[in-house]
Structure 1
């Protein structure tokens, strides 16, 4: 299908029932959420977007802003007649901004890329962008892994991160991982640009569930209780033993169970 500005947007669909649109995180494609979609497909028709710069979808474009992803998700919602959204990481930030423009039957986000009061430290982004522009993908990935603290190896010396980056970029999914790195500067740049006191999210009226894992770096989960305080219709749940990649990689069944129990079973509003 096409978005409001004419950009081609592709998505994967599975299951039957009320529609749920899934918005992937940075560095992820629709197929990374196939296990999550399968878990939900018994009760919902799940539509997982390949966001701009991924798969069959069009490019981000030089003037990319988060509203482009919001437009795309709104178009998929309308096209599939869905009324619920799940967003992961940067996709969760897209979901929150979508809910500022459109009331949903339900919104679930897992560790959205929200920065409140400088909680997200993006000082590494210029170095990452410079290394990527120079074609030094391994060094750029090592910088990303070390500075975001998303790799479950703790604060080890940089050579360890370089070795991990090499494995990621030269494994079976290495070519796709390298291609997806090009989407990071614009998206992380939006996280930094949108840093605020969080007050804008008080305008969200959709029933909202904020999920996180207790094995995720604190800078990503500390904003969740604050968002639950700000958003009038929100509640926050921190899940034991889960990390940032629980929805797409490590615990899709657990996350799907939480999503499914929150969604209105008949497609109506909660």
Structure 2
């Protein structure tokens, strides 16, 4: 299950690295490619239902989710028992751990057609990218002159609804205490502090969970940083 602004193809290397041990199905989540657009009443239940449909259709008994996809994976585990759930830095907000105060300004920038500034603002607010005019100019050029940049630009509006959902799922973590499937939580030592501080809180709420933090990983290890190394942790 891909993260926010991520597409199925971003996990091709991870899927390939796992293919000698597993049959891997990568979901193109809502608002991407030929999948349905995010409807006006979009909510987490739609993503969970989509994931459950894929699990049923394929007979799969494990699910991997990255970031927002990790939040989806955990909520799938609230609906059905699985052999294993693997979540890489899931977008779970416990007692306000996930920053969302930046959302109104982000929406405003998108509404004004300032896509590059919006993307930099969003990634900077979450601790994933430095800010400044040089960075914004580089992102603007990427969005307009590269296929990857244009693809990311297309999904920027989905960020709003997904972060609103993550905020709506805000809790003290107690909701995850009923997960009975084994859960492997993965994280990186180079990720923002709020993620590193939140992971042990998630761990503490899930009865049968294990946490592995790899010092050299950042938030995008599964798709950009080191998919092969992430695959090794999943395979182990």
Q: TM-score, normalised by structure 2?
A: 0.96
2:102 to 124, 129, 154: 124
2:147 to 133, 148, 172: 172
Q: Distance in 1 between matches of 2:24 and 2:62?
A: 10
2:27 to 49, 63, 80: 49
Deviations 1:124-145 (A, max 9, x none): 1011112112221112112112
In structure 2, the residue matched to 1:90 is 68
Gapped runs of 5+ residues in structure 1? 1-22, 262-270
Q: Does 1:233 align with 2:211?
A: no
The runs of 4+ residues in structure 1 deviating greater than 4 Å are none
2:137 to 138, 160, 163: 163
Q: TM-score, normalised by structure 1?
A: 0.84
Answer 1 or 2: which has greater helix percent.
2
Does the aligned pair in 2 maintain the 1:84–1:105 contact within 8 Å? yes
Q: Distance in 2 between matches of 1:221 and 1:190?
A: 21
Deviations 1:21-78 (A, max 9, x none): xx00000110100000000001110000000010111111111001100000000000
Q: Distance in 2 between matches of 1:254 and 1:168?
A: 28
- Bigger shift: 207-216 or 170-179? 170-179
Q: Distance in 2 between matches of 1:95 and 1:164?
A: 34
In structure 1, the residue matched to 2:2 is 24
Q: Distance in 2 between matches of 1:182 and 1:100?
A: 28
Shift of 1:164: 4.0
> What secondary structure is seen at the aligned counterpart in 1 of 2:13?
helix
In structure 2, the residue matched to 1:194 is 169
Q: Distance in 2 between matches of 1:190 and 1:167?
A: 30
Q: Distance in 1 between matches of 2:148 and 2:167?
A: 28
Q: Distance in 2 between matches of 1:168 and 1:240?
A: 29
> What secondary structure is seen at the aligned counterpart in 2 of 1:48?
coil
Does the aligned pair in 1 maintain the 2:88–2:185 contact within 8 Å? yes
Q: Distance in 2 between matches of 1:138 and 1:206?
A: 40
1:62 to 37, 40, 60: 40
Shift of 1:228: 1.3
Report the RMSD for the aligned CA atoms in angstroms: 1.2
> What secondary structure is seen at the aligned counterpart in 2 of 1:211?
strand
> What secondary structure is seen at the aligned counterpart in 1 of 2:211?
strand
> What secondary structure is seen at the aligned counterpart in 1 of 2:25?
strand
**Inter-CA distance 258–212: structure 2 relative to 1 (3 Å threshold):** same
